[in-house]
Amino acid sequence: MNSEELILVTGATGFLGVQLVHELLDRQPNATLALLIRDRPGQSGQQRADLIVPAAQRARIQVYSGDVSQPNCGLDAAVWQRLSAETTRVIHSAATVRFDHSLEEARRINVEGTRRVLDFAGGARQLRSFAYVGTAYVAGERNDLVRESELAVGQGYRNTYEQTKAEAEALVRSRLGSLPGVILRPSIIVGDSRTGVTSSFKMMYWPLKIYARRLWRTVPGYPDAVLDIVPVDYVAASVARLVFDEAALGNTVHLCAGPRGSATIQQVAQRAMEYFNAPAPRYVDPKLFFALVRPLLWVSLWGRKRRVLRDGRAYRDYFTMKMQFDTSNAERLLEPAGMCPPPVLDYLDHLFHYCLASDWGRKPVAVQ
């Protein structure tokens, strides 16, 4: 590792991206990071970077205001050329993770954004590796064992997020013959396994919150549905390691709990019931719930419970999934370094504790 390493990172201000920046700064003390960050109204990319990078480390950061969904990633020609000449590694993790985007909007960000970053990497004259952070849920509606080598096997998709991430991964795969790249597929990323800390209270956290607050206990899903979650510390550390691992190049790696570490909805609900001292959840066949029960409830409920019905639609498929993610490549590449995802049931209480301590993200928590 030498001081000539310049690592371009997209998505640095996201939940995973923030942790990844810290990992890279810690693991590669001689590297410089080039962060591509979108300006926001009233807040520049530089100001956003200053919120996530400790002052003592800012000399090792270059910030570029840009947007992967724009031509040349929003960079002017001179900056694009200079970065092309100096960048040695690229980590592309910028994406929209919303389920409700139109297909056109999701493609603009997830597919065309990936195409532009690939074009940049293809012209980077010193490129040593390209890491694409995708998602295990490119598996879509599959209900079997999903292997790391597989992508399109005729499956359908639950939403535009899954579909466009699959399309983006196909694009990356098409370039791996000419680019030294690795595809990384995390499952559902949750808080730190040791502290429970998270800045994102989406996915698993939303149904958990309404259950813990006793707003709802009906689960339109199957008790034996599989919940594969991974803590952000494991994913960030894995990405930071694999982008420097020549043995990873050309591979797809599931950063998932996998068959050994995942849990069922029933196991997670049981642990939540005990921790939050909540009533036992009721499981309802999802086909019956959405065809009959939900329409009746929609006309009879108001206020907070009706909002639960409305907002819960985005999560319904994740209570019915039976697929498992094979982690053979992850085990081969990461276990020799002592990096294994902790079993889901081993750190759930840490996640629950942080939810309550932070009032579901509404107040700061001092972490030891």
Given a cut of 70, whether residue 312 has pLDDT beyond it is: no
- pLDDT confidence band for 1 (50 / 70 / 90): very low
Q: CA-CA distance, 332 to 337, in Å (whole number)?
A: 10
Residue 293's pLDDT is: 66
Beta bridge partners of 64: 36
Residue 319's pLDDT is: 79
Max Cα separation, the chain?
65
Q: Which of 190, 325, 344 is nearest to 264 (CA)?
A: 344
Given a cut of 90, whether residue 297 has pLDDT beyond it is: no
- Mean pLDDT for 71-89 is 96
More confident residue, 177 or 243: 243
Pick left, alpha or beta for residue 256 (phi over 0 → left; psi -120 to 50 → alpha; otherwise beta). Answer: beta
Q: Which of 161, 230, 228 is nearest to 189 (CA)?
A: 230
Helix (H, G, I), strand (E, B) or coil at 33: strand
Given a cut of 70, whether residue 259 has pLDDT beyond it is: yes
Helix (H, G, I), strand (E, B) or coil at 225: coil
Beta carbons within 8 Å of 155's beta carbon, 6+ residues apart: 139, 140, 141, 142
Residue 289's pLDDT is: 66
- Mean pLDDT for 348-355 is 97
Exposure of 103 in the CB half-sphere (CA atoms within 13 A): 6
Residue 281: CB atoms within 10 Å: 21
End-to-end CA, the chain: 31
Given a cut of 90, whether residue 185 has pLDDT beyond it is: yes
- pLDDT confidence band for 291 (50 / 70 / 90): confident
Given a cut of 80, whether residue 182 has pLDDT beyond it is: yes
Sequential DSSP letters for 202-270: -TTHHHHHHHHTTS--EE-S-TT-EE-EEEHHHHHHHHHHHTT-GGGTT-EEEES-HHHH-EEHHHHHH
Q: What tokens appear for 295 in the block?
A: 């329409």
288 and 366 Cβ atoms separated by less than 8 Å: no
203 and 187 Cβ atoms separated by less than 8 Å: no
Given a cut of 90, whether residue 365 has pLDDT beyond it is: no
What Rg value do the Cα atoms of the chain yield, rounded? Answer: 21
Residue 303's pLDDT is: 74
As a CATH number, domain 6-190+228-258+323-342 is 3.40.50.720
Give the model confidence (pLDDT) of 15-45 as tens digits.
Answer: 999 999 999 999 999 999 999 999 999 999 9
Q: CA-CA distance, 24 to 247, in Å (whole number)?
A: 19
Q: CA-CA distance, 239 to 124, in Å (whole number)?
A: 20
Query: Amino acid identity, residue 366?
Result: A
Q: CA-CA distance, 135 to 158, in Å (whole number)?
A: 14
Torsion angle in degrees (nearest 10) through CA of 28, 33, 37, 42: 100
> Token pair 């759930």 is at which residue?
348
Given a cut of 60, whether residue 3 has pLDDT beyond it is: no
Q: In whole numbers, what is the pLDDT of the chain averaged over residues?
A: 92
Exposed e or buried b per residue across 287-309, where buried means at least 16 C-beta atoms within 10 angstroms of its C-beta: eebeeeebeeeeeeeeeeeeebe
- Mean pLDDT for 208-234 is 90
Residue 2's pLDDT is: 45
- pLDDT confidence band for 300 (50 / 70 / 90): confident
More confident residue, 168 or 219: 168
